[in-house]
């Protein structure tokens, strides 16, 4: 059976798990919300790598995973190279901002990117943008969203404070005619409706959860895993976790077990 470890600094990575439950079968998914160390987006690359290595070692030792999903743009930027070096036998898939599909879908050539500070400052992001945009006539509007992950973790999806934060970040994009926004953090799809409301016009929101699931099926199929049978999801946390948010994110999935752990 395919045993899949998935982690994020909090609940945002459950948007990836939600997509996986629609496509992946015959597997066990072990999700770790590293809430003790959240948010990753304002930590140093060295700290993020250390947290990522600790969570991965826990998943390997305790659950014998054979695939790992970094359901976090920030962790992907800071840690995926180190994880692949440390665990060469694992299928390891990261999460990157959907710049390529945004370029393909924009009509105005003006693309917004909402992400954590660490993601926007990372070499991986800069290399991705440079590679994909050098031959395209596009204009990028990048915004580091300080404090947004914390708002989402508290369940303040459309509160006055969250809306005001988004208004400050999105109003320049709205006025410039941005028609496509890359959600560069797995938490951000959870506030998609609030983003659409603040933008006040039709906007395409790009996130990559479905693409991650399809890529996992391709790589696991190459190793002989059959995508058939029952799927089981277990969720773990290194600290406090918002149970109502867990329920709202995964409300379409019936067989969900939750276990809270003190440390990973």
| Annotated catalytic residue within 181, 185, 209, 246 | 185
Answer for the pair 150, 157: CB distance below 8 angstroms, yes or no: no
Helix axes 45-63, 73-86, angle to 10 degrees: 60
Which stretches in the chain have pLDDT values below 70?
Answer: 252-264
Query: Phi/psi of residue 88, each to 5°?
Result: -65, -20
Answer for the pair 35, 238: CB distance below 8 angstroms, yes or no: yes
Q: What is the per-residue pLDDT for 262?
A: 47
- How long is the chain? 264
Domain made up of 2-95+209-258: CATH architecture: 3-Layer(aba) Sandwich (3.40)
Q: Which residue has the tokens 């060295």?
A: 46
Answer for the pair 114, 183: CB distance below 8 angstroms, yes or no: yes
Q: What is the per-residue pLDDT for 257?
A: 59
Is 145 noted as a catalytic residue in this protein? no
Is 72 noted as a catalytic residue in this protein? yes
List of residues 6+ apart from 147 with CB closer than 8 A: 165
Domain boundaries, the chain: 2-95+209-258, 99-206
| Annotated catalytic residue within 60, 72, 216, 235 | 72
Query: Phi/psi of residue 128, each to 5°?
Result: -65, -50
**SS3 readout for the chain:** CEEEEEEECCCCCHHHHHHHHHHCCCEEEEEEECHHHCCHHHCCHHHHHHHHHHHHHHHHHHHCCCEEEECCHHHHHHHHHHHHHHCCCCEEECCCCCHHHHHHHCCCCEEEEEECHHHHHCHHHHHHHHHHHCCCCCEEEEEECCCHHHHHHCCCCCCHHHHHHHHHHHHHHHHHCCCEEEEECCCHHHHHHHHHHHHCCCCEEECCHHHHHHHHHHHHHHCCCCCCCCEEEEEEECCCCCHHHHHHHCCCCCCEEECCCCCC
First-last CA distance in the chain:
23
Hey, do 2-95+209-258 and 99-206 end up sharing a CATH topology, with the first three levels equal?
yes
Domain made up of 99-206: CATH architecture: 3-Layer(aba) Sandwich (3.40)
């Amino acid at each position: 059976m395919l045993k899949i470890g998935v982690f994020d600094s909090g609940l945002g990575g459950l948007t990836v798990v939600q997509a996986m439950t629609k496509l992946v079968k015959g597997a066990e998914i072990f999700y770790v919300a590293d809430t003790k160390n959240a948010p990753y987006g304002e930590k140093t690359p060295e700290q993020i790598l250390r947290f990522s290595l600790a969570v991965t070692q826990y998943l390997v030792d305790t659950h014998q995973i054979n695939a790992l999903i970094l359901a976090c743009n920030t962790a992907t930027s800071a840690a995926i190279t180190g994880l692949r070096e440390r665990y060469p036998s694992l299928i390891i898939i990261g999460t990157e901002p959907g710049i390529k599909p945004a370029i393909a879908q924009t009509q105005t050539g003006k693309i917004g990117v909402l992400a954590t500070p660490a993601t926007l400052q990372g070499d991986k992001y800069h290399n991705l943008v440079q590679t994909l945009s050098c031959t395209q006539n596009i204009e990028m509007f990048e915004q580091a969203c300080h404090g947004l992950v914390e708002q989402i973790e508290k369940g303040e999806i459309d509160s006055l404070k969250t809306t005001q934060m988004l208004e400050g970040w999105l109003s320049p994009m709205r006025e410039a005619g941005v028609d496509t926004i890359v959600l560069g953090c797995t938490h951000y799809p959870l506030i998609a409706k609030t983003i659409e409301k603040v933008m006040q016009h039709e906007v395409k929101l790009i996130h990559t959860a479905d693409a991650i699931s399809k890529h996992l099926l391709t790589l696991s199929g190459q190793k002989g895993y059959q995508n058939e049978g029952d799927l089981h999801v277990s969720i773990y946390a290194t600290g406090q976790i918002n149970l109502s948010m867990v329920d709202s994110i995964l409300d379409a999935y019936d067989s969900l077990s939750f276990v809270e752990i003190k440390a990973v």
